[in-house]
Amino acid sequence: MIKELTVDLGERSYPIYIGEGLLENIASYFEKHGISKGSPLLIVTDGQVGPHYLEGVLERLGTAGYQAASYTVTAGEKSKSLAVLEDVIGAALEAGLDRKSAVVALGGGVVGDLAGFVAASYMRGVRFIQIPTTILAHDSSVGGKVAVNHPLAKNIIGAFHQPEMVLYDTSTLQSLPDREVRGGLSEMIKHGLIWDADFAYWCEDNAERLVGLDPEALQYGLYKGCSVKAAVVSQDERENDLRAILNLGHTIGHALEAVAGYGELTHGEAIAIGMVGAARLSVKLGHPEEIHTITKRIFEKFGLPVRIPAHLDTDAIMRAMMHDKKFGEGRMVYIVPVAIGKVEINKQMDPKLVREIVDELKQED
């Protein structure tokens, strides 16, 4: 059974299909959505995902009469650069992509962000299709934010470019390393914590099935996670206000990623710590104690970290935070839980309070 949901954005609305083995019918989805057979496609993937799925995708599309070229980038964040963008656009030109062509992202968040910005900027914008192959990508594949990095800042060069559709084949998740699975589930839990208490508790109750990649639990969890993201994005496509709530845990999280050495903390691990920190901040501001105890309990059930490694320097973490682009005109914007399943956007957060939280998070027991 394939689950389907719609990201409601007026004329830019698009469907997300989630299910076991749906890539076997990839061509029928392309046909259903009017992807042109008269113009070449470009599949962008990376060195980890490509070897597993690229050949099958090319073969199925070819059999159905699509001309699909492919370009494989090195796996990892380093491929989100303008230099790699130029290479991928070179491949698009050589394959003869025109204005009716589509660019397809086959991979995780890095490939989605890179290929999405290719689609947004090639000939000033062509169609874009997402085929996420990680759990984490359930987050980045909804909402149309695409970007590459600058040597001085992450995700600073990009666009809002909505895909035509998202094809989520849960069978591609079975080969994910355990640490990536848990990291991806961290964003899924976030979607419960900001919007849907029932879903947050469902995650807690189904931690073992999710970590064990049970197909049914995965399909439901991704469906609910994508639904929350879609609901938020539908109300605020270009991040003017509401969309900021998706940054729960990300202020501290991004700073930890910047300060910790490469590979010490995954994105999902860093934001798990950040969400526990936000819950602590919430209690400090007078909200119920249980926001902190329950948040922490959920992440612990998933084997995700809840404390800042003691050797990371508080000053360095604070400095990294002040460079984060979520601070408009010098003020500190912070997403604070007010209950499980509900958050508020605090635009006047005192950096001193945040510093206290960072220190406390090092001693979190």
Q: Is 112 annotated as a binding residue?
A: yes
Footprint on residues 124-153 left by its own copies (CB under 8 A): 124-125, 145, 147, 150-153
- The secondary element (H helix, E strand) that includes residue 44 is strand 41-46
Residues known to be catalytic: 124, 145, 187, 229, 239, 243, 247, 250, 254, 267
Q: Is 110 annotated as a binding residue?
A: yes
The nearest distance, CB 157 to its own copies, in angstroms, is 5
Q: Residue 361 to residues 41, 80, 291, 304, 308: CA-CA distances in angstroms?
A: 48, 31, 15, 14, 6
Cα 343 to chain center, whole Å?
Answer: 19
Q: Which of 71, 122, 128, 168 binds its own copies (CB under 8 A)?
A: 122
What does the alpha-carbon distance between residue 101 and residue 125 come to, in Å, rounded to a whole number? 10
What does DSSP assign to residue 244? G
Angle formed by the axes of helices 178-195 and 267-284, nearest 10°: 30
Q: Residue 186 to residues 81, 207, 321: CA-CA distances in angstroms?
A: 26, 11, 20
Q: Give the range of 95-103, 129-137, 195-203, 277-285 binding its own copies by CB under 8 A.
A: 95-103
Query: Does 350 interact with its own copies (rule: CB under 8 A)?
Result: no
Tokens matching residue 292 = 């902190």
What does the alpha-carbon distance between residue 185 and residue 340 come to, in Å, rounded to a whole number? 17
Contact characters 6-45, its own copies, x per CB under 8 A: ------------------------------x-xx------
What does the alpha-carbon distance between residue 42 and residue 67 come to, in Å, rounded to a whole number? 9
Query: Does 325 interact with its own copies (rule: CB under 8 A)?
Result: yes
Query: Does 99 interact with its own copies (rule: CB under 8 A)?
Result: yes
146 φ, ψ to 5°? -130, 150
Q: Is 295 annotated as a binding residue?
A: no
The nearest distance, CB 46 to its own copies, in angstroms, is 20
Q: Is 111 annotated as a binding residue?
A: yes
Please say which residue, 89 or 104, places its beta carbon nearer to its own copies. 89
Q: Is 56 annotated as a binding residue?
A: no
* DSSP collapsed to 3 states, 270-314: HHHHHHHHHHHHHHHCCCCCHHHHHHHHHHHHCCCCCCCCCCCCH
Footprint on residues 64-93 left by its own copies (CB under 8 A): 82-83, 85-86, 89-90, 93
Q: Is 187 annotated as a binding residue?
A: yes
What does the alpha-carbon distance between residue 232 and residue 241 come to, in Å, rounded to a whole number? 10
Please say which residue, 1 or 152, places its beta carbon nearer to its own copies. 152
Beta-carbon contacts of residue 124 (< 8 Å; ≥ 6 apart): none
The nearest distance, CB 85 to its own copies, in angstroms, is 7
Please say which residue, 160 or 202, places its beta carbon nearer to its own copies. 160
Instruction: List residues forming the annotated binding site for Zn(2+).
Output: 187, 250, 267
Residues that bind its own copies (CB under 8 A): 36, 38-39, 82-83, 85-86, 89-90, 93-94, 98-100, 120-125, 145, 147, 150-153, 156-160, 238, 325, 327-329
